[in-house]
Amino acid sequence: MLETLDFLEIAQSYRAIFLDSYGVVKNHRGLIPGGSETIKALREAGKTIRILTNDASRSPEQQAARFEKQGLTGLAPAEIITSGMMAKLFLEQKVKGGKVAYLGTENAAHYILAANLNSIAVSKIDLADCSDITAMVFLDDEGFDWNRDINTTVNLLRKRNIPAIVANSDKLYPVAKNDVSIATGGIAKLVESILNRKFIHFGKPDTQMFNYAFEDINTQGNFTREDILMVGDTLHTDILGGNKFGVRTVLVLSGNTRAENADIQIRSTGIIPDYVCDSIVG
Amino acid sequence: MLETLDFLEIAQSYRAIFLDSYGVVKNHRGLIPGGSETIKALREAGKTIRILTNDASRSPEQQAARFEKQGLTGLAPAEIITSGMMAKLFLEQKVKGGKVAYLGTENAAHYILAANLNSIAVSKIDLADCSDITAMVFLDDEGFDWNRDINTTVNLLRKRNIPAIVANSDKLYPVAKNDVSIATGGIAKLVESILNRKFIHFGKPDTQMFNYAFEDINTQGNFTREDILMVGDTLHTDILGGNKFGVRTVLVLSGNTRAENADIQIRSTGIIPDYVCDSIVG
Amino acid sequence: MLETLDFLEIAQSYRAIFLDSYGVVKNHRGLIPGGSETIKALREAGKTIRILTNDASRSPEQQAARFEKQGLTGLAPAEIITSGMMAKLFLEQKVKGGKVAYLGTENAAHYILAANLNSIAVSKIDLADCSDITAMVFLDDEGFDWNRDINTTVNLLRKRNIPAIVANSDKLYPVAKNDVSIATGGIAKLVESILNRKFIHFGKPDTQMFNYAFEDINTQGNFTREDILMVGDTLHTDILGGNKFGVRTVLVLSGNTRAENADIQIRSTGIIPDYVCDSIVG
Amino acid sequence: MLETLDFLEIAQSYRAIFLDSYGVVKNHRGLIPGGSETIKALREAGKTIRILTNDASRSPEQQAARFEKQGLTGLAPAEIITSGMMAKLFLEQKVKGGKVAYLGTENAAHYILAANLNSIAVSKIDLADCSDITAMVFLDDEGFDWNRDINTTVNLLRKRNIPAIVANSDKLYPVAKNDVSIATGGIAKLVESILNRKFIHFGKPDTQMFNYAFEDINTQGNFTREDILMVGDTLHTDILGGNKFGVRTVLVLSGNTRAENADIQIRSTGIIPDYVCDSIVG
């Protein structure tokens, strides 16, 4: 299996291409070289495109603007589906009034505001007067002081019996060829472990985002699962989610999964992509 | 919130009713008293019904036959959606040839056969000659000798680098008013802990079964999420899954969640049903 | 480091030798070939000997009798120190009256009786009438029906707010060259996970047994830690415990740690034996 | 049991008193009111005193100086036994040369220097040139940038196959009447979870510190376990450790264990102190 295949050749057989963002279209240095051309080629071939990303740090609009700035033009916000959007739908449906506390940048708080709720950064919380806080959301690993604000979060959740929501369950993300950084899900896990409690998690491998994208593209076209190809760099999120949703999956080796480990990881986890490519370029 | 409401009155506002099986329609003694009448009333009111159950121990046909025997007539196999069916779809797509080992009764092996694969009970495995085994599935907590066969499973997964699939992630099920029994997911967790490995899990709260049911009823009708009511007795499977899928949810107090704890559990988990009823009868 | 050394040559420099039992002196087939001669040679050289074993399934007397039967003569019960004895001291000090429930063979119940307490096998418990049960002890993985009795244990600990004690924390033990069996600690972990509770654990790497042995040999001699050599086959119990207690440690490759993995395991865990030998014979 | 007793009256029956520091002798505001007088009374009654603390953030000398400054005079450094000292003994015995990386203040690095090793703060590490780092020690939750330095620690341990040592396993400590702060052990647990690896932990409830104190006081006197009383505010460290070591234990309600929860916590954990007192004053 681990002879890798040409991505564009595989993509020919599908009408819609779902792509993870980080590790697939971009990495810590920006767009992957040639990525822009691949997306353009997919467009020209008439493929419907959606980005499915476990990223709750920015709105689809901001993510689209960032792609644009990095050189990938023409990706519409409506083509970007984030785990933050799933969390937003949940907040909208289940949290009534009050203030929603969050860890993350101000940008990330977008998802709370979009749910028509008031937001408050954890750094702004007065633990002596927090009875109006109605939910806690883990949105990003940046934008706050870890020591001070993770501790405040622990104390908030000891005082207030409220839902805690993890808008991105990833534990790690790559920040350089060989280095990683603890992601939102890792921070949430620390708090869960300290409190001995399980929070509500969003993002791949849950099939919710796939379903959202599937229904979305079906408002315009008439797609079945056979028409769809999911492309990702992480077995236990992108590929497992795609496999569970019942679409074909491509593992690319340009991110979390290294070429030298791919075979053993695939066999030992049983998370088996339909195809393996070096990247969306190769 | 915890004044409970009348179930049939709530159900009036919806066109399709999704129900968990154990703790909702039946319990350890059989059908819940009056359950048959409720289902009949839903039928007469023209509601579309689906059972969504984390049960991989029997095929939909067998489960329908069992309901019939217990006094609930007219439930078609096609109306019963099981976590075993989700596991079957996965096996079908991802396991090619060989034999699939399983823990469970012979009835449960149905899901392997339905995926057009050969099955072998763990008790029949010869560890000295197991190179043809291509996957391991946890189907049921019954039908095998726990001591001998869980140990064989551990050794099989040490020898063979194959996918391990948990067709029902529930850790516990009630067997009497105050007693519980370790379920398939609990046994799988023991093996995961011994091997320090994560398996592939199926069943609620994953939204996959909801989606399957949703697409299924839309082959005949034209349903939106607003038309659907999910009824369950367990917050972190039935209600969380329904909430994530975006349908309205009813918590019934006839199974895993006790009336005296419901309020505190709802508030502390943040898994908030839209309605609470004593049962589908009350 | 991984050139292995001659055990008897190393032992020369020490006045007291502490040995793990399983994987060191014996294995699943009986005494290791030549083991009896090594023990005899240590005796003749005037070494003080203690067996330190995470085994709560038999009394020191029974273990001595078993060694005798297997061909290792002259090992006195007083030279065998078991994790069961540590659990017994705890029960003696902390449990007053009532009955102590246990999982294990009748032999294992010895440790409860030795603490002057009444014992009751879990299989004999009537959950409807269990108010006289004052503690639960996990003694062995044998001597009971796993399905029935582990479930009874779960329900007992849901009904009765009592201490649960794990007299042997090992999760696995080898039963053949390539096969393992789930041990008492693995069963306890399943119950802990189901109940989301932590029990009280005994055995290496806790330094308690080392201290017991140290004080014991000092009733007759005048030993310092420098005089003592600990011999074991498992890094995270025997070697970590010995290192923490401050005595020199030998890893033997005749049990849990395979020659081909020893180096990488030592470096990655940081549990560094002072010496490595093929076995107490080689 | 939960009528509390007078501490000094209990202490009369013992010749040596072991006390935890935080939550017993001091709290987040300084010495507990009357604490100094209690220690003085114990001295005048001829009791031998040792402080046993899971604190690796300062040397015994610095801790003694701090007590002095807070108003508790005459506590000698030699009377203070810390989990940091246990980690130091381990480093001394097992790490040869190179540099030992640490998380904590410069004060905490004392324990590395005392083991005759070179230390380097994680903040000073160049991941591109870290081949001379031979161990990693978690000493304190303060003195570093959590975001930057915990991430550096994760990457260091991915690059270097070296022992990781947790010199204080406590997950939480109280910082105000109702607030807590994540402690060294909590941070270590985050890194363990990210790397899926277990580190080497020091501190109570391991009986190692009790044994160290026991041997230490026996260099001057002639003490048996019956002569010793352990005083602590935390069931699963102070009281469990004391119980396992076989000395009598007092739970005080001036720290981690609240009066209103003490009874239920004692019964459910099975960690049973011999006495309960409001504090060492009351």
CB B154 within 8 A of CB B162: no
Domains B7-54+204-277 and B84-201 share a fold: yes
pLDDT for C190 beyond 90: yes
Q: Return phi, psi of residue B30, to 5°.
A: 125, -155
Write down the pLDDT at residue C38.
96
- CA of B25 vs chain C CAs: smallest distance (Å): 24
Contacts of B150 in chain C (CB under 8 A): 146, 182
Contacts of D172 in chain A (CB under 8 A): 154, 194
Q: What CA–CA distance (Å, rounded) separates A193 from B98? A: 41
Contacts of C190 in chain B (CB under 8 A): 182, 186, 189-190, 193
Asked whether the beta carbons of residue B164 and residue A270 sit closer than 8 angstroms, the reply is yes
pLDDT digits (tens, 9 = 90+) for B231-269: 999 999 999 999 999 999 999 999 999 898 899 888 878
Write down the pLDDT at residue D282.
77
Chain A interface with B: residues with Cβ < 8 Å: 86, 89-90, 93-94, 135, 161-165, 197-200, 202, 206-208, 211, 236, 240, 243-246, 264, 267-272
CB D107 within 8 A of CB D59: yes
Contacts of B142 in chain C (CB under 8 A): 147
Asked whether the beta carbons of residue A211 and residue B206 sit closer than 8 angstroms, the reply is no
Burial D180-214 (b: 16+ CB within 10 A, else e): bbbbbbbbbbbbbbbeeeebbbbbbbbbbbbbbbb
CB B236 within 8 A of CB B271: yes
Instruction: Measure CB to CB from residue D207 to each of C162, C207, C240 and give the nearest one.
Output: C207
Asked whether the beta carbons of residue A89 and residue B245 sit closer than 8 angstroms, the reply is no
Question: Residues with Cβ < 8 Å from C50, sequence gap 6 or more?
Answer: C16, C17, C18, C19, C79, C80, C81, C213, C216, C217
Which amino acid is it at C114? A
Q: What CA–CA distance (Å, rounded) separates D238 from D205? A: 6
- CA of D189 vs chain C CAs: smallest distance (Å): 15
Q: What CA–CA distance (Å, rounded) separates B16 from B3? A: 24
CB D98 within 8 A of CB D133: yes
Q: Looking at residues D218-233, what average pLDDT do you find?
A: 95
**Maximum mean pLDDT: which of B107-121, B163-177, B194-208:** B107-121
pLDDT digits (tens, 9 = 90+) for C151-185: 999 999 999 989 999 999 999 988 887 899 999 99
Fold classification of A7-54+204-277 is Rossmann fold (3.40.50)
Query: Which of C214, C244, C266 to mutate: most D Cβ within 10 Å?
Result: C244
Domain boundaries, chain C: 7-54+205-277, 84-201
Higher pLDDT, D1 or D189: D189
Q: Omega into C60 within 30° of 0, i.e. cis?
A: no
Asked whether the beta carbons of residue B197 and residue A268 sit closer than 8 angstroms, the reply is yes
pLDDT for D145 beyond 60: yes
Cα dihedral across residues C136, C139, C142, C147: positive or negative: positive
How far does CA D241 lie from the centroid of its chain?
12
Instruction: Measure CB to CB from residue A182 to each of D154, D171, D189 and give the nearest one.
Output: D154
Asked whether the beta carbons of residue B179 and residue C155 sit closer than 8 angstroms, the reply is yes
Q: What is the DSSP string of B173-211?
A: EESSSS-EEE-HHHHHHHHHHHHT---EE-STTSTHHHH
Q: What CA–CA distance (Å, rounded) separates B216 from C164? A: 48
pLDDT for B117 beyond 90: yes
Residue with tokens 């040679």: C41
Helices (H) and strands (E) in chain B, counts: 10, 15
- CA of D169 vs chain A CAs: smallest distance (Å): 12
Q: Report the residue of chain B nearest A243, measured CA to CA.
A: B90
ipTM of the complex: 0.91
CB C220 within 8 A of CB C49: no
**CATH class assigned to B84-201:** alpha beta
For residue A265, what are the CA distances in angstroms to A77, B100, B197?
A: 34, 20, 12
Percent of chain A surpassing pLDDT 70? 99
| Superfamily holding C7-54+205-277 | HAD superfamily/HAD-like (3.40.50.1000)
**Residue D2 pLDDT grade (very low, low, confident, very high; cuts 50, 70, 90):** low
Identify the bridge partners of residue B100 per DSSP, sorted by sequence position.
Answer: B119, B135
Chain C interface with D: residues with Cβ < 8 Å: 86, 89-90, 93-94, 135, 161-165, 197-200, 202, 206-208, 211, 236, 240, 243-246, 264, 267-272
Q: Which pairing describes strands A248-252 and A228-232: parallel, antiparallel, or unpaired?
A: parallel
Q: Looking at residues D244-273, what average pLDDT do you find?
A: 90
Q: Supply the pTM of this predicted model.
A: 0.92
**Residue B63 pLDDT grade (very low, low, confident, very high; cuts 50, 70, 90):** very high
Write down the pLDDT at residue C120.
98
Q: What is the DSSP string of A204-260?
A: TTSTHHHHHHHHHHTTTS---GGGEEEEES-IIIIIHHHHHHT-EEEEESSSSS-HH
Q: What CA–CA distance (Å, rounded) separates B250 from B271? A: 11
Q: Report the residue of chain B nearest A236, measured CA to CA.
A: B200
Contacts of B186 in chain C (CB under 8 A): 190, 193-194
Low-confidence ranges of chain A (pLDDT < 50): 1
Chain A interface with D: residues with Cβ < 8 Å: 127, 141, 145-147, 150-151, 154-155, 158-159, 171-172, 178-182, 186, 189-190, 193-194
- CA of D29 vs chain C CAs: smallest distance (Å): 32
CB C116 within 8 A of CB C87: no
Query: Which of C147, C159, C169 to mutate: most B Cβ within 10 Å?
Result: C147
Structure-block tokens of residue C83: 């994790």
Write down the pLDDT at residue C269.
84
